[in-house]
Structure 1
Amino acid sequence: MPQTTEKVARPPVVAPPSPRTRAPRRVRLWGKATPWLFLAAPLALLIVFTYAPVANMLAYSFTDWDGVSPELDYTGADNYVEIFTRPELFRVFFVSAYYLAASAVQIAAALYFATILSFNIRFRNFFKGVLFFPYLINGVAIGFAFLYFFQDGGTLDSVLALFGYESDHAWLSTSTSANISLAGVSVWRYMGLNFVLFLGAIQSIPGELYEAAELDGANRWHQFRHIIAPGIRPVLSLSVILSISGSLSVFEIPYIMTGGATGTETFVIQTVDLAFRFNKTGLASAAAVVLLLIILAVTWVQRRLVPDDKVDLT
């Protein structure tokens, strides 16, 4: 019988993997350096116009420099001791209470308008522009405009006269009425910023959540309470931080309208007067450092009390 030869199938020959070619060293170094090249310009501007002035301010706070003389003497912590031993330097912080109250009104009004205009209503784009427009105006122009608004026989008195109320009250003549008037101006000016922040945060919430809430029978209040309010919590926390820091460092509007007279002087106006009116730049630098530390401390406490947790609405 003839013998049959069986062919045995051989496994395919697999070529060994070729070693991975590495890019030249110059290319790798260039790839690592490229992001820093883009960051070089903004970092240089940040260092030159932010960190370097802060470092100089901190250095001047330990001297008796008058802001003019090329000579200055190191005085140690004498400026800080003077700040904390003179109650009148901290008494101006009571004025910030008016602006803190105004900030609460401002945030509440901005949140209200942002919630209303986030829904489909008529002329909402027009009202968005009206609410945001004051924030675009220069602070000095706003100060001069409202200076004529609150003067005797000015715009406010004329408007009140149309409703039969004859006012002989000088709105900027007493401490209480002047601070309330100035705080009201700050509400009008800065509400647009909070309004835009809240509106952007509300519009970032998925629309499916509103549709599901409507199917479950939720009204507008329920949607705000259970969808909008939790969804914009990080932005709300940011607005509170900005409002508190802004209330402690108010300058433009009271400086233009009253110059700090009639009990409207703020801590920043007092610091500017120390530096440029009384030629105590060293003491003014120490006051600025103290204000910076107070704002950082308030921000830290606020972040500890209200941590910025990730919001999950699903």
Structure 2
Amino acid sequence: MFNLSYKAQRTVILVGFLIIPVALLLVLSYLPALSLVYYSFTDWTGVGWNMHWVGFDNYKEIFTRPDIFSAFKVNAYYFVGGLIQTALALFFAVILSGKLKGKNVFRAILFLPYVLHSVATVIMFKNVYHMEYGSLNIFLGAIGLDTLQQSWLGNSHLVNFSLAFISMWKFMGLSMIIFIGALQSIPGDMYESARIDGANSWQQFRYLTLPSIKSVLQLQLILTLTGALAAFEIPYVMMLGANGTSTFVIQTVDMAFKFQKAGLASAMGVVLMLIVLIVIMIQRKLLPGGED
């Protein structure tokens, strides 16, 4: 190798460093994705390798069964909750980016829920929402709001709101940290110039802060959308999809492992991926600066 030219040595080193991660990417990401597409055209049960080509039958079944697409109504709760979470995260990021005493402590407190494992979070909130000894109902009773005590997980009209709140509580800290990083990249002299020109805090936020973090806001909306469509851990661990809490991903998992229709589940996975791509493309076209 020492007899090679500098350009050849550079090429060998680059190829040597890249070949392993690229190979892992192909084997662990792209090959399974291609296999998923192939299985979606078969009647594979997920057991063994006995499968038959069925063409577009799985996709026809998906689009002719209202019960499959009705799961997106549940995903909508997580999407709306994600939008509220993004707004709250931006609010706290703006406050904790200013001159506030002990702001690092508050940042750590708000970020802590994201560090907790999802299963631990769900177990904790089971003790919050429990009808008899749950801390939420105990708190409502202590302040004289007994009429608001509910079976938060047993009431089909409230259960999805309760689960969406858990998702908001868990992921708001991550969104806040992303926003704080974006806010810190804005030069301070821009705010100084705005204050000299007589701009108040709201005007600075509207005409300076928001345009400066536009790309981060778009990223957050994409993460909110994909997170809502991929909602699985919290409703599955808490309710196993019961009481009207089954999301599209839960239905896909049940289709594959409970009903042993891996071919149909693969088609559902492909449809979900296409929906995400289409919505992201529409979002990039509609939002200001989305075509940049």
Instruction: Tell me if both proteins adopt one fold, taking TM over 0.5 as the criterion.
Output: yes
Provide the rounded CA distance (Å) in 1 between the counterparts of 2:84 and 2:49. Answer: 47
Structure 1 Cα separation of the partners of residues 42 and 118 of structure 2: 33
Letter in 1 for 2:98: F
Which structure has the greater CA radius of gyration? 1
Aligned residue identity for 1:161: G
| Equivalent position of 1:210 in the other structure | 191
Q: Distance in 2 between matches of 1:89 and 1:215?
A: 58
Letter in 2 for 1:162: A
Larger helix share, 1 or 2: 2
- In the alignment, which of 219, 231, 248 is matched to residue 267 of structure 1? 248
Equivalent residues of 2:284, 2:291 under 8 A apart: no
Q: Report the alpha carbon displacement of residue 191 of structure 1 after superposing the two structures with TM.
A: 0.6
Structure-2 residue corresponding to 1:238: 219
Q: How many residues are paired up?
A: 288
Does the alignment pair 1:192 with 2:167? no
Equivalent residue letter for 1:270? Q
Instruction: Provide closer, same or farther for how the CA distance between residues 304 and 24 of structure 1 changes in structure 2, counting only shifts above 3 A.
Output: farther
Bigger shift: residues 279-288 or 146-155: 146-155
Which residue pairs with 2:284 in the alignment? 303
Q: CA deviation at 1:44?
A: 2.2
C-alpha displacement of 1:291: 0.3
Shift of 1:217: 2.2
Hey, what's the Cα distance between the residues in 1 that align with 2:7 and 2:94? 50
**How far apart are 1:115 and its partner, in Å?**
0.6
Shift of 1:67: 0.8
Report the equivalent of 2:56.
77
Q: Given the alignment, which residue of 249, 258, 269 partners 2:239? A: 258
Please tell me the residue identity of whatever aligns with 1:165: L
User: What is the aligned partner in structure 2 of residue 165 from structure 1?
Assistant: 145
Distance between the aligned counterparts of 1:89 and 1:239, measured in 2?
27
Indicate yes or no: 2:252 matched with 1:288.
no
Superposed, which structure 2 residues align to 1:115-126 within 5 Å?
115-126=94-105
Q: Distance in 1 between the 2:156 and 2:9 partners?
A: 62
Structure 1 CA distance for aligned equivalents of residues 40 and 102 of structure 2: 53
Specify the alignment match of 1:51 in structure 2: 30
Give SS of 1:175's match: coil
1:69-88 Cα shifts (integer Å, max 9, x gaps):
33111111111111111111
Q: How is 1:22-61 mapped onto 2 (pairs within 5 angstroms)? A: 26-61=5-40
Out of 72, 75, 93, which is 1:93 matched to?
72
1:249 equivalent among 222, 225, 230: 230
1:276 is aligned, of 219, 238, 257, to 257
1:143 Cα deviation from its structure 2 partner: 1.4
Give the secondary-structure state (helix, strand or coil) at the position aligned to 2:41: coil
1:117-156 paired onto structure 2 within 5 Å: 117-153=96-132, 154-156=134-136
User: How far, CA to CA, are the matches of 1:36 and 1:176 in structure 2?
Assistant: 57
| CA RMSD of superposed structures (Å) | 1.6
